[in-house]
Chain A
């Protein structure tokens, strides 16, 4: 009896195993899922919130651009924007599920877009997006003026969905990128305030400001991105400028220039282009302009206390490469290069100071994380000012020293064309020839 039982027992367990090994417990087939690729969070009237999601329509994506292109007309939308309201986001998400015939899948979400009004109410609404197990802390967060839903409703462009477009632009590193975890860290750190890159809708993305993101040989990626957007009717997205928070509330907006200064000061500059105008310098030197591209720059902030004053010494250093010169340039003479270098340094300084002015005078919020720098290097002093740091920051003196060096000239040296001074000047120098 016992031996019979012992022999049958393994088979019984093997049989039991078949129930679990089939893997059919709480399965979700891909045909049953509604894949969310972008999320916009807005405020709705009466303390309610509006959740808008961009749900991918599988048929449209499966067809792909090659099959969809047959018609030649407007490209088919790859997804649909659905939005609901609720007193909080989980309630709104439940409402969504009442309207969508599939289960919502959040984990493929590419981007979170915060609407202006909700940002003014505070960041605590993000809790749903950190608590849910499908949510990812690496989702980039953007902010927009007006309603975030509008951004989702834009017609598709190079990519099929708004989410992919926005993450694609972020990957070009023309501006900074804030992931959900970075946002939380900035918010929770006592000596920091959150800033988010701003997504804008542009009918014509041309700017009157003096910095044109020129597409030299190295900056081609940015150029083509911009060019692609220009053709798009009727509106396109761009990521430019920033929204700044004081504690957890939206406090104000930084324009493009200030936002660039901000990322210099936060030390998050990875690559970029600076265009400077050079005034006429007498002789054969007409005015002109030059652009440099830099790949890696370092920012060092050193806090100092002198008597009652708090001083931050900011040193920005790095190397840049000449990308385009619309001027009469002869690199054999170092003063030309020095002039460009000085102008570049001045331009960066202006941006940084513009951002500092904005933060200190208008926002009165330390959006640069300087408080954390102080916290790390002078913890004693930090404890005295911790409680009212934003006020203290507004009074602090920020000294900026830029030391960018022009070290590379690209593949050519002189600018092209019939050189006016080639005969006269060059001959007079003699030794170079």
Chain B
């Protein structure tokens, strides 16, 4: 099915930024410090290169099927039965990812800010807003980012800038102390976040002109890598690798450390408010993509009818997924890298190869 309306390449890049960064910024620095120690930032760069491959695949597929979503060209490439199955895998994967993000969000809120409020409350409220936003379509969401993006960028910059008195860059040394093996481990963990750029294969269909996808992919990916590297480096500079690994929410700890002349301090509440805005965009985007995909697979004319029930389902699943934050960390460290490798890299690659072998393309509509 098709949605009416288009987004600009710039908006696509910004949405891509929001599709990865909000949760990555909170959970990744700590996990990377655990795996790659001082070289956590190298792991981000390594994962960016890997995500570049995904971006290339997405771009090549989009060039073959301009104005078609991932779910649509699954069927075009693999035929009705296998295509529907592949599309369903993507739908499930995006749905699970959405549930994980919702759970990460509520778990963080409960742990760090409001321990007496049930986590379900946070999930329900944010998904309620996300459902409302997703029903209004992609264009509306893209315009939401115009408001939240500057806030988020400025605030990350403020935190990093004002934490500089606490930083000691020598924490980065020695580089590659134990060779490439730990960096590779870190790259795998970072990969499961950065590989989420595959989402552009779905809403990228609404970018006009399709050729400009190249620009949105590269600028979006570079933007993600830039901020993620900065934040990871910032936490290593401030806490060193052992303590960054020990802090479950290292970026939040970084915001808590900021203290400028006894008056500009305790800014983490502001960090939180803006971060919630970012997570809202992320959850909404995934919810939208899941509804769109399910509508495509099932042949519905409209995705809007699905959004509410999918939202409710994702809240329920998010709370069934994990017992506690330790399980989220374990999942992100041990399970997600392999699983995301399958659906974010191998499956799109398979699609591309089959499309190339069978000579499928749909250009010129």
B125 in complex: contacting residue of A20, A130, A188, A377, CB < 8 Å: A20
Are A133 and B111 also in contact (CB < 8 A) when A138-B257, A376-B173, A379-B177 are?
Answer: yes
Which residues from B are CB-within-8-Å of A185? 239-240, 242-243
Are A137 and B257 also in contact (CB < 8 A) when A25-B117, A185-B242 are?
Answer: yes
Give the bracket for the number of chain A residues in contact with chain B.
Answer: 10 to 19
B240 in complex: contacting residue of A26, A138, A188, A379, CB < 8 Å: A188
Which residues from B are CB-within-8-Å of A138? 256-257, 259
Chain A proximity mask over B63-107: 1 for CB below 8 Å, otherwise 0: 000000000000000000000000000000000000000000000
The answer, yes or no, to whether B4 is at the interface (CB within 8 Å) is no
Chain B proximity mask over A107-135: 1 for CB below 8 Å, otherwise 0: 00000000000000000000000100100
Task: For residue A313, give the distance in angstroms from its CB to the closest CB of chain B.
Answer: 17
**B256 lies within 8 A of A375 (CB):** no
**B115 lies within 8 A of A188 (CB):** no
**B256 lies within 8 A of A189 (CB):** no
User: Which residues of chain A from 1 to 44 have a CB within 8 Å of any chain B CB?
Assistant: 20, 25-26
Q: How far is the CA of A185 from the CA of B173 in the complex (A)?
A: 15
Are A188 and B117 also in contact (CB < 8 A) when A137-B257, A379-B174 are?
Answer: no
**B113 lies within 8 A of A133 (CB):** yes
Most buried by B among A20, A185, A375: A185
Which residues from B are CB-within-8-Å of A379? 174, 177
**B243 lies within 8 A of A181 (CB):** yes
Per DSSP, chain B at the interface is: helix
**B116 lies within 8 A of A377 (CB):** no
The answer, yes or no, to whether B112 is at the interface (CB within 8 Å) is yes
Task: For residue B110, give the distance in angstroms from its CB to the closest CB of chain A.
Answer: 10
Which residues from A are CB-within-8-Å of B246? 130, 184, 188
Q: How far is the CA of A377 from the CA of B174 in the complex (A)?
A: 7
The answer, yes or no, to whether B347 is at the interface (CB within 8 Å) is no
The answer, yes or no, to whether B253 is at the interface (CB within 8 Å) is yes
**What residue of chain A has the Cβ atom nearest to residue B259's Cβ?**
A138
The answer, yes or no, to whether B170 is at the interface (CB within 8 Å) is yes
**What residue of chain A has the Cβ atom nearest to residue B168's Cβ?**
A185
Which residues from A are CB-within-8-Å of B257? 137-138, 181
Q: How far is the CA of A181 from the CA of B125 in the complex (A)?
A: 35
Q: How far is the CA of A25 from the CA of B112 in the complex (A)?
A: 16
The answer, yes or no, to whether A95 is at the interface (CB within 8 Å) is no
The answer, yes or no, to whether A357 is at the interface (CB within 8 Å) is no
Per DSSP, chain A at the interface is: helix
B117 in complex: contacting residue of A26, A136, A181, A184, CB < 8 Å: A26
Task: For residue B2, give the distance in angstroms from its CB to the closest CB of chain A.
Answer: 26
**B239 lies within 8 A of A181 (CB):** yes
Chain B proximity mask over A174-215: 1 for CB below 8 Å, otherwise 0: 000000010011001100000000000000000000000000
Chain B proximity mask over A351-388: 1 for CB below 8 Å, otherwise 0: 00000000000000000000000011101000000000
Q: How far is the CA of A86 from the CA of B117 in the complex (A)?
A: 28
Task: For residue A221, give the distance in angstroms from its CB to the closest CB of chain B.
Answer: 16
**B170 lies within 8 A of A184 (CB):** no
Are A133 and B243 also in contact (CB < 8 A) when A138-B256, A181-B257, A377-B173 are?
Answer: no
User: Which residues of chain B from 138 to 191 have a CB within 8 Å of any chain A CB?
Assistant: 170, 173-174, 177
**What residue of chain B has the Cβ atom nearest to residue A107's Cβ?**
B266
Q: How far is the CA of A133 from the CA of B268 in the complex (A)?
A: 12
Which residues from A are CB-within-8-Å of B240? 185, 188-189
**What residue of chain A has the Cβ atom nearest to residue B132's Cβ?**
A13
Q: How far is the CA of A119 from the CA of B85 in the complex (A)?
A: 62
The answer, yes or no, to whether B114 is at the interface (CB within 8 Å) is yes
Which residues from A are CB-within-8-Å of B243? 181, 184-185, 188
Q: How far is the CA of A19 from the CA of B115 in the complex (A)?
A: 19
Are A26 and B174 also in contact (CB < 8 A) when A137-B257, A189-B240 are?
Answer: no
Chain A proximity mask over B251-272: 1 for CB below 8 Å, otherwise 0: 0010011010000000000000
Are A189 and B242 also in contact (CB < 8 A) when A136-B256, A138-B256 are?
Answer: yes
Are A375 and B125 also in contact (CB < 8 A) when A133-B112, A185-B242, A189-B240 are?
Answer: no
Task: For residue A371, give the distance in angstroms from its CB to the closest CB of chain B.
Answer: 13
Are A137 and B174 also in contact (CB < 8 A) when A184-B243, A185-B242 are?
Answer: no
Q: How far is the CA of A205 from the CA of B173 in the complex (A)?
A: 43
Are A133 and B115 also in contact (CB < 8 A) when A185-B239, A188-B240 are?
Answer: yes
**B174 lies within 8 A of A376 (CB):** yes
**A137 lies within 8 A of B112 (CB):** no
Q: How far is the CA of A389 from the CA of B256 in the complex (A)?
A: 33
**What residue of chain A has the Cβ atom nearest to residue B254's Cβ?**
A137
Which residues from B are CB-within-8-Å of A130? 246
Q: How far is the CA of A25 from the CA of B117 in the complex (A)?
A: 8
Task: For residue B33, give the distance in angstroms from its CB to the closest CB of chain A.
Answer: 11
Q: How far is the CA of A137 from the CA of B256 in the complex (A)?
A: 8
Chain B proximity mask over A136-157: 1 for CB below 8 Å, otherwise 0: 1110000000000000000000
**B174 lies within 8 A of A375 (CB):** yes
Q: How far is the CA of A184 from the CA of B173 in the complex (A)?
A: 19
Task: For residue B200, give the distance in angstroms from its CB to the closest CB of chain A.
Answer: 33
Task: For residue B111, give the distance in angstroms from its CB to the closest CB of chain A.
Answer: 7
Which residues from A are CB-within-8-Å of B253? 137
Which residues from B are CB-within-8-Å of A375? 174, 177
Task: For residue B123, give the distance in angstroms from its CB to the closest CB of chain A.
Answer: 14
**B259 lies within 8 A of A26 (CB):** no
Which residues from B are CB-within-8-Å of A189? 240, 242
Can you show 9 pairs from A to B with CB atoms below 8 A apart?
Answer: A25-B116, A26-B116, A133-B112, A137-B257, A138-B256, A138-B257, A185-B240, A188-B242, A376-B170
Chain A positions within 8 Å of B, measured between CB atoms, are 20, 25-26, 130, 133, 136-138, 181, 184-185, 188-189, 375-377, 379
9 other A-B residue contacts (CB within 8 Å) besides A185-B239, A188-B246, A379-B174: A26-B117, A133-B112, A136-B256, A137-B257, A138-B257, A138-B259, A181-B238, A185-B243, A188-B243
The 6 closest A-B pairs by CB, nearest first: A188-B242, A376-B173, A26-B116, A379-B174, A185-B240, A379-B177
